[in-house]
């Protein structure tokens, strides 16, 4: 039998990126958390953590973390069906990885009512849409919103739709770098904006325009900051269409190449157990809340052929 106090210590160390914050969350001393991890490793007979900054799980540690995430969802499912089991009545916390642009645009309206009605707290982990699934693979989150299509073992994915991005710049930036007319080949030699090292969206856009190779760029790991820097004429960038309707209408941002959008599909990944056992409970209800909200907000996420993996 698993000792879930030991597994909770492992999950807390990974989720809180260290022993000190894990101890605060668990209401224990840092020494007590360390002892629980050592006891878990002694019982398993191998390390569960790579002791670095921040700590990361070993292969067996990832398997244990995946198990913890699924158990958390199953426990919430059972509490929703047998409320007497929830003696403390404390809000449940659901840890989700998602991309910054969704968080800055449509996400809050999609899950706001659900969180209020179900006394649910969210622990959101921001990752680029191309790599967010690594958090779920590592057992660090219970669900993930990302651009990866195929789920990890033991999970399933649902295509929600696609975010449309447009290559934009301020009128001042265009006047400064393209005084005569826009030239796609010149775009690689003027400053661009990139969200982070995993952001390949600008690369896709340049390839769409027939431009290969590297390009000059700033790095701005903030969706709101990305937009502000584009508006200020610091650089050009790929910005979600739903985030800049007003700017496109009033002319404060201008599309570089007309009718050359980039659509990024978004998939909702979650562990199978919760929704398969109780469609109305935590895992399934979040899926329903997000999917249902998106279905009535067709102007926010583009519809693309839907495909679900089991």
Pick from 61-70, 178-187, 206-215, 252-261: least confident: 61-70
What are the structural domains, with CATH classification, of the chain? 62-162+265-309 (3.40.190.10), 164-263 (3.40.190.10)
Measured CA to CA, the distance from residue 105 to residue 102 in angstroms comes to: 5
Mean pLDDT of the chain, nearest integer: 83
Measured CA to CA, the distance from residue 265 to residue 165 in angstroms comes to: 11
Give the mean pLDDT of 31-59.
91
pLDDT above 70 covers a percentage of the chain that reads: 81
Contact 199, 238 (CB under 8 A): no
Confidence of residue 62 (pLDDT cuts 50, 70, 90): confident
Helix (H, G, I), strand (E, B) or coil at 302: strand
Tell me: pLDDT of 129 over 80. no
Give tens-digit pLDDT for 193-229: 999 888 899 999 999 999 988 899 999 999 999 999 9
Half-sphere exposure of 149 (CA within 13 A, CB side): 7
Measured CA to CA, the distance from residue 164 to residue 278 in angstroms comes to: 33
Tell me: pLDDT of 280 over 70. no
Tell me: pLDDT of 309 over 50. no
Overall pTM > 0.95 = no
Pick from 17-21, 85-89, 217-221, 249-253: least confident: 85-89
Pick from 73-82, 240-249, 274-283: least confident: 274-283
Pick from 139-148, 161-170, 269-278: least confident: 269-278
Beta-bridge partners for 263:
164
């Amino acid at each position: 039998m698993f000792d879930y106090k030991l597994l909770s210590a492992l999950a807390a160390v990974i989720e809180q990126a260290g022993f000190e914050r894990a101890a605060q969350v668990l209401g224990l001393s840092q020494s007590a958390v360390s002892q629980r991890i050592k006891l878990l490793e002694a019982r398993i007979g191998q390390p569960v953590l790579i002791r670095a900054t921040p700590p990361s799980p070993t292969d067996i540690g990832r398997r244990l973390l995946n198990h913890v995430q699924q158990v958390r969802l199953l426990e919430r499912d059972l509490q929703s069906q047998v409320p007497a089991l929830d003696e403390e009545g404390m809000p449940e916390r659901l840890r989700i990885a998602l991309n910054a642009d969704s968080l800055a645009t449509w996400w809050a309206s999609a899950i706001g009512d659900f969180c209020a009605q179900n006394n649910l707290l969210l622990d959101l982990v921001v990752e680029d849409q191309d790599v967010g699934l690594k958090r779920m693979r590592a057992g660090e989150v219970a669900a993930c919103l990302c651009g990866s299509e195929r789920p990890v073992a033991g999970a399933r994915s649902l295509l929600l739709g696609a975010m449309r991005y447009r290559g934009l710049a301020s009128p001042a930036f265009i006047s400064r770098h393209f005084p005569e007319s826009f030239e796609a080949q010149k775009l690689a030699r003027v400053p661009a904006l990139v969200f982070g090292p995993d952001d390949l969206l600008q690369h896709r856009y340049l390839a769409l325009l027939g431009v290969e190779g590297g390009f000059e760029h700033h790095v701005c790991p903030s969706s709101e900051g990305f937009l502000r820097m584009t508006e200020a004429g610091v650089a050009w960038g790929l910005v979600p269409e739903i985030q800049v309707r007003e700017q496109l209408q009033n002319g404060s941002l201008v599309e570089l190449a007309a009718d050359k959008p980039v659509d990024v599909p978004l998939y909702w990944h979650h562990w199978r157990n919760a929704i398969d056992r109780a469609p109305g409970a935590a895992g399934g209800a979040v899926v329903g809340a997000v999917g249902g909200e998106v279905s009535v907000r067709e102007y926010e996420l583009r519809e693309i052929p839907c495909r679900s993996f089991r």
